[in-house]
Structure 1
Amino acid sequence: MSIIHRVRLALVLGSLSGFGALTIDMYLPAMPGMARDLHASPSVVQLSLIVFVIGLALGQVLIGPLSDTWGRRRPLIVGLSLYVAGSVCCVLAPTGGWLIGARALQSLGAAAGTVLARAIVRDPFQGPAMTRFLSVAMLVTGLAPILAPVVGGQVLRFTSWRGIFIVLAAIGAVLLVTVLVTQRESLPPERRRPAHIPGTLRAMAALATDRSYLRYVLAAALMFAAVFAYISGSSFNLQNVYGLTAQQFSLVFAANGLGIVLLAQVNGFLIGRGREAETLLRSALVIAVVAASGVFACTATSAPLPLLLICLFVVVSMLGPVLPDATTLPMGPHAATAGAASSLQGLLQFLIGAAAASAMGVAGPGSPIAMGVTMLVCAVAALAVLLLLRTTIAEQRGVEAGR
């Protein structure tokens, strides 16, 4: 693969991988205003976020296995078309219920970009090469959490929240045209699996019982849930409780997104120098637990805002090394079912994230301590899964060797 092709592929796949984050993050600064404009409670507006995440998860379960049969390009084109249609419906939403339905449609399109980006990377790459490529793609993917809230905050200066969804529809249309013109099929016909629902279910069941696969996937999903608790609750907490404006909040959110990008590049650099992805993943989760403990302490004691922001920055930044490492390690042994492996990873990641946000919402979207507790519990659980399942796998192999 030529350098030009690699760069182009990284740009396209990085954009597709960041599609879900872009769609979530851009309208975060507008959530308090949306509740007022639609005459809905903050919980209803937050529900539109949770529904989007659930649709993003379920859509990946459908699209991933289909791409193992039909190839990657056709499902991607259909998904991007649905995304544009869903974004237009969001623009026209007259009520909170309409908005929730439109977000569900939009999420199915975003799911195609998220799951197929991982599968397309797995088609030509494996091992350390895959990790390094994912780290480079994170340069583009990471632009979503950096630019999205800033763009959203600036759009709100000139128009309402509906203008944000107009921008999202335009971005989806540009990506659709780009895929049509530049993206070649990455899965040749001889490597495709026949359409066979029982076979697909067996492949998914085999993955769901593969402890080595689940170890990394669950660790990544729980770490994502910790960050998603921040994504879901920070808009109301930092603006309504700590008094930040929409523009100030967007800058804070962008700074945390920059941390994801920087740490992803450090991770790729270290992988290229012979460091093991397993070691880097474990180190990132340990740091995340320490920083999440700081977030909990700050929210429980009403500590000064700068201290809270520092702890949030560290937790969110750890997603930079966790995602590429915890994607390469479980996907490597599953080349023949890359679509199914990617879809199950996405399903667990976003369902656990939605569950964390829902649990946090019980205390209300404006409860800082609920955000702190959720982030700490998820970070600790991510590290525990990585460490405990490793012990379980080692013991299992010892028993099998003894037989």
Structure 2
Amino acid sequence: MTAQTKSGPAVDEGSARIGLGFSEFVITMALMTASISFAIDSMLPALPHIASALHVEKENDAQLVIAVFFFGFGLSQLFFGSLADAFGRRRVLLAGLAIFTVAMLGAAWTESFTALLILRFCQGIGGAAVRICTTAITRDCFGGREMARVMSYIMIVFMLVPIIAPSLGQAVLFFGDWSWIFVLLGGVGAILFLWAALRMRESLPQAERQPLSLASVVSGFSTVLTNRITCGYMIALTLFTGVICAFIVTVQQVFGTVYGLGDWLPLAFAGTGSGIALANFGNGQFVRRFGMRRISHAGMIGFTILAALIFLLSLGGKPPFLITYLGLTLLLMMFAVVATNFTAISLEPMGHIAGTATAITGFVSTTGGAILGGTIGQMFNGTVQPLFGGFAVFGAVSLVAVLWAERGQLFTHPGDETALDPAAGHM
């Protein structure tokens, strides 16, 4: 199918807009996005090795290898969103992949923890460009429930990475030192760069591009912050980003220090990743039938209740490993459907400035989430109380934000059935 642009010429719709079939589109976008997850999760078994090799004094400071990536990833999204709307998605995507690759290879040869953190920040910057462009390309090609469906399928492939990334990192450590993980990641970035350069067309027609100026950024912020739906769900998404950040920065200590899993960490982490992949598959199957809001609102409420129950249990002592593990797996499954659908809902009114809106919501949610998750990580005290207590608080506050966005109405909204007009959700 084709559609008419503002200037008249017809353009392809769906995945054909960038010259790919549907399955190839999903796999390509998923692998691009998964490179970010791979850059985070493959580090988990290496954190103690990095801390030892680079003489890190405080145990909790090793978390910075993860947290600094999130900060670079979050802070730079605003910049790349405006560039993607002004110059097109493809150029910015290629630039981001180049930064990601070079910073990875540079980190392989660093001998300073400070230098490593700087390079991790740069890796996050490159990852931000990839994230912004893949989301904006998806929004260029699809809308409404179809976008939620496509994003769910992308997330299935994306979440297969946590299943294998820690194990792959552990395997690299078996044959060499931690620096070879960065060499591997740099190779992945180079392959993705070549694939994008050779296979993908531009998704944003010239006539639909926005001028690059401070005024456009300010206007974008104004549009996002004055749209009740986008702003409310962005706040909730920030809190759920804090959930995944808190989990990732502390999972090595929870499984390793609290429960003594040691080399079993990759297998335990793979189980939680499998649950997330399963949840996204289910979301992709059922979202068109039940709607984004019914699924995500139910997940949000269930998440909050379960996190609060396990926190209360932990006040009486260390919960049995099986309860903690199954609880985390279920919580992350609910996180998956909440985050996927909240992202789609927040962007639905923003089709006319998809790149800028993606950048602004990503900037706020990722930076805010990194701060919230990092705070929970620094509160680690040898128990699971900070993690589950933080989860419960994040879930409760996100519920308040969604109630505000939906004017007190949960589970249904007219915008879940049809594309929202940009002005429909204004305050």
TM-score (norm 1): 0.92
Shift of 1:390: 2.2
Match in the other structure for 1:115: 132
- Matched ranges for 1:217-232 at <5 A: 217-232=234-249
Answering whether residue 33 of structure 2 is matched by residue 8 of structure 1, we say no
Answering whether residue 306 of structure 2 is matched by residue 291 of structure 1, we say yes
Say whether the 8 Å CA contact 2:239–2:395 is kept in structure 1.
yes
Q: Secondary structure at the match of 1:31?
A: helix
Answering whether residue 50 of structure 2 is matched by residue 30 of structure 1, we say no
Say whether the 8 Å CA contact 1:222–1:382 is kept in structure 2.
yes
Unmatched 5+ stretches in structure 2: 1-13, 411-423
Q: Secondary structure at the match of 2:344?
A: helix
Q: Choose from 142, 146, 155 the match for 1:125.
A: 142
Q: Distance in 1 between matches of 2:73 and 2:383?
A: 26
Shift of 1:125: 0.8
TM-score (norm 2): 0.87
Task: Quote the sequence identity (%).
Answer: 27
Structure 1 residues 294 and 252 mapped into 2: Cα distance closer, same or farther (>3 Å)? farther
Match in the other structure for 1:397: none
Alignment-mate amino acid for residue 135 of structure 2: R
Q: Choose from 337, 349, 354 the match for 2:353.
A: 337
Say whether the 8 Å CA contact 1:115–1:343 is kept in structure 2.
yes
Say whether the 8 Å CA contact 1:237–1:365 is kept in structure 2.
no
Q: Distance in 2 between matches of 1:220 and 1:253?
A: 23
Please tell me the root mean square deviation across aligned C-alpha atoms, in Å. 2.0
Q: How many residues align?
A: 393
Answering whether residue 407 of structure 2 is matched by residue 385 of structure 1, we say no
Say whether the 8 Å CA contact 1:32–1:236 is kept in structure 2.
no
Match in the other structure for 1:351: 367
Q: Distance in 2 between matches of 1:317 and 1:15?
A: 20
Alignment-mate amino acid for residue 94 of structure 1: E
Alignment-mate amino acid for residue 292 of structure 1: A
Say whether the 8 Å CA contact 2:43–2:166 is kept in structure 1.
yes
Shift of 1:96: 1.1
Q: Distance in 1 between matches of 2:336 and 2:408?
A: 27
Unmatched 5+ stretches in structure 1: 395-399
* 199-208 or 339-348, which deviates more: 199-208
Structure 1 residues 354 and 365 mapped into 2: Cα distance closer, same or farther (>3 Å)? farther
Shift of 1:365: 6.9
Match in the other structure for 2:252: 235
Structure 1 residues 36 and 79 mapped into 2: Cα distance closer, same or farther (>3 Å)? same
Q: More helix by proportion, 1 or 2?
A: 1
Say whether the 8 Å CA contact 2:41–2:162 is kept in structure 1.
yes
Say whether the 8 Å CA contact 1:259–1:320 is kept in structure 2.
no
Alignment-mate amino acid for residue 328 of structure 1: A
Alignment-mate amino acid for residue 60 of structure 1: Q
Q: Secondary structure at the match of 2:141?
A: coil
Alignment-mate amino acid for residue 331 of structure 2: V
Shift of 1:393: 9.1
Structure 1 residues 291 and 159 mapped into 2: Cα distance closer, same or farther (>3 Å)? farther
Deviations 1:177-207 (A, max 9, x none): 1111111111111111122221222112221
Q: Distance in 2 between matches of 1:198 and 1:393?
A: 34
Q: Choose from 147, 157, 161 the match for 1:140.
A: 157
- Matched ranges for 1:71-86 at <5 A: 71-86=88-103
Answering whether residue 192 of structure 2 is matched by residue 192 of structure 1, we say no
Q: Distance in 2 between matches of 1:181 and 1:281?
A: 37
Q: Distance in 1 between matches of 2:382 and 2:245?
A: 15
Q: Secondary structure at the match of 1:187?
A: coil
Q: Secondary structure at the match of 1:318?
A: helix
Match in the other structure for 2:328: 312
Shift of 1:392: 6.4
Say whether the 8 Å CA contact 1:360–1:370 is kept in structure 2.
yes
Say whether the 8 Å CA contact 1:122–1:130 is kept in structure 2.
yes
Alignment-mate amino acid for residue 401 of structure 2: V
Alignment-mate amino acid for residue 320 of structure 1: A
Shift of 1:18: 2.3
Q: Secondary structure at the match of 2:184?
A: helix
Say whether the 8 Å CA contact 1:26–1:148 is kept in structure 2.
yes
Answering whether residue 79 of structure 2 is matched by residue 62 of structure 1, we say yes
Deviations 1:314-370 (A, max 9, x none): 111113212221122121221110001111121122112211233224434755322
